[in-house]
């Protein structure tokens, strides 16, 4: 036992000697290498640090290594791992100092930038290798041997960064053609890193704040939570810096993957779960693991190499499994040595410990050296891409912000849920804001604050000066308020209505919007643009466009136009003499579409002529044009498929948001559409799609609310509880599915109970009154009898006196 424990000390000394001889690798300018990795002061990163540091020494990686440790002052008070690696403390940005966003991954670019600006080591280095803590080094990583040059860093391939190939890259860099899908293993010249580091950080912040584009189809992030924003920050930052990478896809490998034939990986990245037979390892299972400080405790031992050889006949898969073994065994070997340095007692002998000290394991894990000419560099990712269309926007795509206006009612809440669900699926670029018009009193009771990113605006449903009740005016009023009370970095604004379902992105570059040339969809019923109404309300009636629904407008135009929109809306609304159908096209002749005319007349005042596109929006129930890919459903009108129909107005007073699993009647399935006419069939299929999307949105909303599963015990209890309060009329109204019924019936139940109490009190009072009256009467009768008897006796006595006769 003494001898075996002594061997560990010998190994440590031998590794230290190997590290000390690193100068033989050329640690003189211009060949000085420095390795960096970023961590936080947590147990989770401590055991990863132990594994990486141990493999760093075993692999004989040349030059020094520095751990960039991101910790708050509070965390540092209790941190135990300062001696785990050569360390340079950097500020913790896990909680962003300005936005408050919780995103620990940003500490990597923050740490690198801080090291460049404040470390003396950064002044004496030519090449930097940047790794992750959850990696095992198998052989020296020499930048120039990998092919790195000044201006051409070397990197491992991250193929899932699909944002380099779609609109995401156009939103975040001026050089989308330079965006490389790379990460994990980075080797670059210090001069390139100095240019890149601040861009890496700023682009990480940009992508992280661009929540509208976290969807999987744009980012490749399976969680859709913006968790890989730092990776995109690196790729977009490098593109901005003009850096083209030499990319390799086989020198870094994930345990569990099969290595390429003839290639010896020099780095293992255990970021994903991996398994061998019944044994498996997932780093996330050890997030709070105290294993570095628990003496002689190791990760569960994997199978032995000979067992792997027996279980896997395929030589290539077997090689992959042996790499997984090596990864796990190197981690455990590092822990054994760390425990010895911590002063732990000697561990008890075991077969596994014996294997880790054996010559066999030492031979399996000796440094892997690159053979000359063995580094395979992938061809340029962009050289075979099709050139952009001639009429496409030049340079990067402009930033977009989408707006929609609502009020704080459940009627708008279910529309918001449907709208937001479709927005997330559509790939619409940029951020989104709900303009929520509420009175102070309504806002206190409002439950839907978390349904969408929201800007609260004062309600003008009741006009503050005229007292006119006209909720539609809230739309222009809200836009004006938003423009004056927020910092806007978007170049184009897309304005939609809440009762819409997005089917795809609505972008200025696709629909050719420009400064001074907004894009919109036709509203042909606005006949007031062609008659005296326009002449009454604008100096430029010839510039009046019959448009609405979808608006794409440059921010400069919107800033000039928004107040005109509001003023003209008030003006048309006040002009009651011209509400007639033949002037306005309003079948109700109530001035209800005054806001739409306010938009058209306001735009005419500024001579804003629209590009009118009829292929953006369709009303469900309308026959689509053949071959048109409509981007928006506007379900403002009733539509039908067979016996099924939907009219949003019928759901004005129904709370579909706060009642678990509430939804609309299911539309027919596409297979139930039996129209032989193709146009009518396509019409019905689009109507079904709209209805399905609304119910799909409600279903996901209820799941996010953690509603009890239908039929579960908690739901049954809720139903029983509700049922016990609903009698008589409720049962009849329940069949109609009305929440209003529930409220009415509950109030009726309360009234019934109150009535019973009143009757009971009345009866008791009446009985009490009768009892009191009987007592009073009987008492008076007794008193009356007593008094008469006494009077009678007095009279008799006086008559019998002598002399009276």
pLDDT band at 759 (very low <50, low <70, confident <90, very high): low
Stretch 353-358: mean pLDDT:
95
Q: Is the pLDDT of residue 226 over 50?
A: yes
**Distances in Å between the alpha carbon of 505 and those of 393, 430, 435, 509, 518?**
16, 10, 20, 11, 16
Q: Is the pLDDT of residue 388 over 70?
A: no
| Summary mean pLDDT of the chain | 87
Residue 301 and residue 174 in contact, taking contact as beta carbons nearer than 8 Å: no
Element (H, E) at 653: none
Residue 600 and residue 641 in contact, taking contact as beta carbons nearer than 8 Å: no
Tell the burial category of 748 from Cβ atoms under 10 Å away from its Cβ (0-12, 13-18, 19+): middle
**Residues 475-486 pLDDT 10s:** 999 999 999 999
- Pick from 19-33, 141-155, 489-503, 514-528: least confident: 19-33
pLDDT given at position 57: 97
pLDDT given at position 383: 55
Q: Residue 281: which residues within 8 A CB-CB, separation 6 or more?
A: 255, 270, 273, 274, 275, 299, 300, 302, 328
| CB atoms closer than 10 angstroms to residue 4 | 13
Classified as helix, coil or strand, 582 is helix
pLDDT band at 746 (very low <50, low <70, confident <90, very high): very low
Classified as helix, coil or strand, 236 is helix
Residue 239 and residue 170 in contact, taking contact as beta carbons nearer than 8 Å: no
How does DSSP classify residue 11?
H
Stretch 482-500: mean pLDDT:
96
pLDDT given at position 227: 93
**Residues 718-728 pLDDT 10s:** 444 434 433 33
Residue 53 and residue 72 in contact, taking contact as beta carbons nearer than 8 Å: no
Residue 369, by phi and psi: left (phi above 0), alpha (psi -120 to 50) or beta? beta
Tell the burial category of 540 from Cβ atoms under 10 Å away from its Cβ (0-12, 13-18, 19+): middle
Stretch 668-682: mean pLDDT:
92
What are the beta bridge partners of residue 436?
Answer: 406, 456
Two tokens at 388? 């952009």
Domains in the chain and their CATH numbers?
2-271+353-364 (3.90.550.10), 399-506+616-639+647-707 (no CATH), 508-548+556-613 (no CATH)
- Pick from 365-369, 388-392, 550-554: least confident: 388-392
What are the beta bridge partners of residue 454?
Answer: 434
**Residues 273-314 pLDDT 10s:** 999 999 999 999 999 999 999 999 999 999 999 999 999 999
Stretch 638-648: mean pLDDT:
96
DSSP-assigned states of every residue in 435-504: EEEE-HHHHHH---GGGS-EEEEE--SB-TTT--B-GGGHHHHHHHHHHHHS----SEEEEEESSEEE-S
pLDDT band at 439 (very low <50, low <70, confident <90, very high): very high
d(CA 103, CA 201): 12
Pairing of strands 492-497, 400-407: parallel
pLDDT given at position 774: 66
Q: Is the pLDDT of residue 391 over 90?
A: no
Q: Residue 36: which residues within 8 A CB-CB, separation 6 or more?
A: 65, 66, 68, 111, 112, 115, 128, 129, 130, 131
Q: Is the pLDDT of residue 271 over 50?
A: yes
678-704 and 410-426 helices cross at what angle (nearest 10)?
110
d(CA 727, CA 748): 9
- Pick from 212-221, 687-696, 698-707, 767-776: least confident: 767-776
Q: Is the pLDDT of residue 253 over 80?
A: yes
CA angle 694, 699, 705 (to 5 degrees): 125
Stretch 563-580: mean pLDDT:
95
pLDDT given at position 217: 82
Q: Is the pLDDT of residue 228 over 70?
A: yes
Two tokens at 613? 């596109």
Q: Is the pLDDT of residue 652 over 90?
A: yes
Stretch 218-240: mean pLDDT:
92
């Amino acid at each position: 036992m003494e001898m075996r424990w002594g061997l560990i000390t010998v190994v440590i000394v031998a590794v230290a000697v190997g590290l000390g001889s690193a100068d033989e690798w050329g640690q003189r300018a211009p060949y000085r290498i420095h390795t960096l990795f970023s961590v936080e002061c947590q147990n989770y990163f401590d055991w990863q640090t132990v594994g990486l540091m141990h493999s760093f020494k075993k692999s004989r990686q040349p030059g020094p290594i520095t751990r960039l440790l991101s910790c708050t002052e509070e965390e540092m008070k209790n941190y135990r791992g300062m001696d785990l690696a050569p360390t340079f403390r950097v500020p913790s940005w896990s909680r962003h100092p300005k936005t408050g966003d919780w995103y620990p991954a940003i500490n990597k670019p923050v740490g690198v930038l801080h090291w460049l600006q404040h470390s003396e080591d950064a002044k004496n280095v030519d090449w930097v290798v940047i790794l992750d803590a959850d990696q095992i080094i198998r052989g020296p990583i020499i930048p120039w041997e990998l092919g790195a040059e000044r201006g051409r860093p070397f990197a491992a391939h991250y193929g899932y960064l699909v944002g380099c190939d779609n609109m995401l890259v156009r939103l975040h860099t001026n050089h989308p053609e330079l965006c490389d899908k790379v990460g994990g293993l980075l080797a670059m010249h210090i001069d390139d890193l100095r240019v890149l580091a601040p861009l890496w950080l700023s682009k990480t912040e940009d992508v992280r704040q661009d929540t509208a584009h976290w969807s999987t189809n744009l980012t490749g992030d399976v969680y859709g939570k913006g968790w890989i924003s730092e990776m995109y920050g690196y790729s977009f930052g490098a593109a901005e810096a003009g850096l083209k990478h030499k990319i390799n896809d086989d020198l870094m490998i994930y345990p569990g993957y099969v290595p390429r034939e003839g290639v010896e990986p020099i780095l293992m990245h255990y970021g994903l779960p991996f398994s061998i037979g019944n044994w498996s390892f997932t780093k996330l299972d050890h997030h709070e693991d105290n294993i570095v400080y628990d003496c002689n405790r190791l990760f569960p031992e994997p199978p032995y190499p000979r067992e792997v050889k027996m279980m896997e006949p395929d030589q290539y898969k077997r090689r992959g499994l042996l790499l997984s073994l090596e990864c796990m065994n190197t981690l455990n070997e590092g822990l054994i040595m760390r425990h010895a340095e911590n002063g732990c007692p000697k561990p008890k002998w075991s077969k596994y410990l014996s294997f880790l000290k054996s010559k066999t394991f030492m031979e399996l894990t000796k440094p892997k050296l690159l053979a000359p000419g063995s580094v395979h560099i992938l061809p340029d990712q962009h050289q075979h891409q099709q050139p952009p269309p001639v009429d496409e926007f030049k340079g990067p795509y402009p930033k977009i912000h989408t707006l929609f206006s609502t009020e704080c009612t459940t009627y708008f809440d279910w529309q918001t849920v449907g709208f937001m669900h479709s927005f997330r699926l559509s790939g619409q670029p940029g951020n989104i804001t709900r303009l929520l018009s509420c009175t102070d009193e309504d806002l206190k009771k409002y439950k839907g604050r978390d349904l969408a990113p929201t800007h609260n605006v004062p309600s003008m449903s009741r006009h503050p000066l005229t007292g006119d009740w006209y909720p539609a005016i809230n739309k222009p009023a809200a836009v004006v308020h938003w423009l004056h009370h927020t910092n806007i970095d978007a170049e184009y604004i897309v304005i939609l209505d809440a009762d819409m379902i997005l089917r795809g992105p609505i972008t200025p570059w696709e629909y050719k919007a420009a400064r001074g040339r907004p894009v919109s969809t036709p509203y042909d019923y606005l006949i007031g643009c062609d008659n005296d109404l326009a002449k009454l309300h604008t100096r430029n009636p010839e510039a009046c466009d019959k448009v609405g629904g979808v608006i794409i407008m440059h921010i400069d135009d919107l800033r000039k136009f928004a107040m005109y929109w509001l003023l003209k809306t008030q003006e048309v609304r006040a002009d009651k003499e011209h509400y007639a159908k033949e002037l306005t096209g309003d079948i109700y002749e109530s001035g209800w579409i005054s806001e739409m005319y306010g938009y058209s007349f306001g735009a005419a005042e500024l001579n804003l002529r629209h590009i009118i596109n009829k292929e953006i929006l369709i009303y469900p129930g309308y026959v689509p044009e053949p071959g048109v890919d409509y981007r928006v459903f506007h379900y403002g009108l009733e539509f039908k498929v067979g016996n099924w129909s939907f009219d949003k107005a019928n759901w004005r007073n129904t709370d579909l948001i706060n009642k678990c699993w509430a939804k609309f009647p299911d539309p027919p399935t596409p297979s139930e559409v039996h129209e032989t006419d193709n146009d009518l069939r396509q019409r019905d299929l689009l109507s079904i799609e709209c209805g399905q999307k609304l119910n799909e949105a409600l279903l996901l909303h209820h799941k996010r609310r953690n509603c009890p599963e239908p039929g579960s015990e908690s739901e049954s209890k809720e139903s029983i509880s509700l049922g016990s309060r609903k009698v008589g009329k409720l049962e009849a109204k329940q069949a109609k599915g009305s929440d209003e019924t529930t409220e009415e019936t509950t109030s009726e139940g309360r009234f019934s109970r109150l009535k019973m109490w009143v009757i009971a009190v009345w009866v008791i009072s009446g009985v009490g009154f009768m009892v009191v009256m009987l007592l009073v009467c009987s008492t008076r009768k007794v008193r009356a009898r007593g008094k008469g008897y006494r009077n009678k006796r007095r009279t008799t006595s006086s008559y019998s006196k002598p002399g009276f006769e």
